[in-house]
Chains A and B, each alone.
Chain A
Amino acid sequence: MSGVGEERERLRAALRDLVAERGLAGLGAADLERRARVPAGALERRFGDLDTCFAALWLEADAALREPVDEAFARPGAWRARIRAALAAELSFLAADEPRARLYVTEAVFAAEPVRSARRAAMRRRVGMLDAGRLEASDPDVSIAIAEAIAGATWEHLNRAIRGGRAADLPADLGELTYLTVLPYLGARAAAAELRRG
């Protein structure tokens, strides 16, 4: 690896560790350069600023998450099974790497552009997957606002779990999150079945 590439990697790894340890808010360039053991000014030379370095990590995580989630949701079958599979893929992804989960979910709220725009796009994708439940709902007039609320509720659940140090246990919450997701579209009986299934 070239000196330039090595500095970039050191800075990325240091930011990932610092965000996991202390959170993004309040971190400065000097903290990062010290942890990365790179000369002062390296962050500006390699990334421009800390926000850009964080964005590189966040966008990479976002792309890595999209792949298994999209693949799971694209499988043939009923929406209920597809949305469950997509949720399972997301929970496994987050559980596999706690620092990445913290960076992607809990710390991104403090990030600047382009992460803000990318987060909105990620939320729109999530809402689209949820809103597809209307096609199988007994009442297809369910408001799209319901899908937004489910997306927010899921995100809040993930956020609390990761903040509470439970990222590794997230796959155990699949039943609960699927319950919450299918309830507005498929009703209490289907939702309860998902909860029992776990």
Chain B
Amino acid sequence: MADRGRSEGEGRLRPLHGGRHGLSPDIVAFNQRERLLAAVAAVAAEHGYNAATIAQIAEAASVSRRTFYENFEGKEECFFAAYDALDDYLVSLMDEAIATQPEWADQVAATFVALIGFLASRPELARLYLVEAAAVGEPMAARRGRTAERFIALLEEGRAETGGPAPAEGIEEALVGGAVTLLTRRIAAGEGEHLDRFAPAVIEFVLSPYLGVDEARAVAARHL
């Protein structure tokens, strides 16, 4: 999800100069696709996914409607591509965070700090990922489910790692749902830029069933 070419202040992307710019057709096409992905996030953040139109997305990307349709069949496909690109990036952040920490609880904390920090730095992407993706409905459910499964698997490792009293069976799904709800509510309330303020609560909440409240809070404090 590059933001190359983003113009200052307007939320629109500068058009590529026409004529002899020396760029190969492949590079131009790649650039146009990237711009459309950034544009669908911006337009969905401003108007909501359901109200967003292809004309708005094309305009925000400074490409023609024809170029839009050369890249995507419709709004939904464009949105899915943007979600997938962002999801891939967040997976890479998650992997990096886990690799830096030897202990499970610190891996969980570092993961949430990295992801929430990134989303706080890009509120329009946070909105696309958490708020607008939910508004797409059933077609998005499988993608969102796959995202949740990664976090569920990470939390489930805590059962073997901590050796404490076993949390309720299947609690991981609820914990991930709780974390997502907290962040989604805050983004929807216009607090996306300050999302990192809620990282301690998220970490404390998801770790408490495994470590107890005091230890979970101490882990959160170590990472902030």
Which A residues fall within an 8 A CB radius of B?
23, 25-26, 109-110, 123, 139, 143, 145-146, 148-157, 159-160, 175-176, 179-180, 183-184, 187-188, 191-192, 195
B171 touches A176 (CB 8 A): yes
Q: Which residues of B contact A183 (CB under 8 A)?
A: 208-209, 213
B201 touches A157 (CB 8 A): no
Residue among A26, A149, A159, A184 making CB contact with B182, cutoff 8 Å:
A149
Residue among B165, B179, B180, B185 making CB contact with A123, cutoff 8 Å:
B185
A152 touches B165 (CB 8 A): no
The CA-CA distance from A139 to B174 in the complex, in Å, is: 23
Give chain B nearest CB distance to A27 CB in angstroms: 11
Interface residues on B, range: 20 to 34
Q: Which 3 A-B pairs have the closest CB atoms?
A: A152-B181, A156-B177, A153-B178
Residue B205 is within 8 A (CB to CB) of chain A in the complex:
yes
What per-residue 1/0 map shows which CB atoms of B141-172 lie under 8 Å from chain A? 00000000000000000000000010011110
Q: Which residues of B contact A195 (CB under 8 A)?
A: 168
Q: Which residues of A contact B171 (CB under 8 A)?
A: 176, 179-180
Q: Which residues of B contact A155 (CB under 8 A)?
A: 177, 181
Assuming the A-B contacts A183-B208, A184-B208, A188-B165, are A145 and B177 also in contact, with contact meaning beta carbons closer than 8 angstroms in the complex? no
- Mark out the residues of chain B between 189 and 206 whose CB falls within 8 Å of any chain A CB in the assembled complex: 198, 200-202, 204-205
Q: Residue on B with the closest CB to A153? A: B178
Residue B125 is within 8 A (CB to CB) of chain A in the complex:
no
Besides the known contacts A110-B137, A152-B185, A157-B177, 12 further A-B residue pairs in the complex with CB atoms under 8 A apart: A25-B138, A143-B200, A145-B205, A148-B181, A149-B178, A152-B178, A152-B179, A154-B178, A155-B181, A180-B174, A180-B209, A184-B205
B181 touches A151 (CB 8 A): yes
The CA-CA distance from A34 to B181 in the complex, in Å, is: 37
Most chain A CB within a 10 A radius of its CB, from B171, B178, B202? B178
Residue B5 is within 8 A (CB to CB) of chain A in the complex:
no
Residue among A139, A145, A188 making CB contact with B198, cutoff 8 Å:
A145
A156 touches B165 (CB 8 A): no
Assuming the A-B contacts A153-B175, A187-B213, are A146 and B201 also in contact, with contact meaning beta carbons closer than 8 angstroms in the complex? yes
Q: Which residues of B contact A176 (CB under 8 A)?
A: 168-171
Give chain B nearest CB distance to A126 CB in angstroms: 11
The CA-CA distance from A149 to B169 in the complex, in Å, is: 18
B137 touches A149 (CB 8 A): no
Q: Which residues of B contact A156 (CB under 8 A)?
A: 173-174, 176-178, 180-181
Assuming the A-B contacts A25-B137, A145-B198, A148-B181, are A188 and B212 also in contact, with contact meaning beta carbons closer than 8 angstroms in the complex? yes
Residue B85 is within 8 A (CB to CB) of chain A in the complex:
no
Q: List 29 A-B contacts (CB under 8 A).
A: A23-B138, A123-B185, A139-B213, A143-B201, A143-B204, A145-B182, A145-B198, A145-B205, A146-B201, A148-B182, A148-B185, A149-B178, A149-B182, A149-B201, A149-B202, A152-B179, A152-B181, A152-B185, A153-B178, A156-B177, A156-B180, A175-B168, A179-B171, A180-B168, A180-B174, A180-B209, A183-B213, A184-B205, A195-B168
What per-residue 1/0 map shows which CB atoms of B117-140 lie under 8 Å from chain A? 000000000000000001101100
Q: Residue on A with the closest CB to B201? A: A145
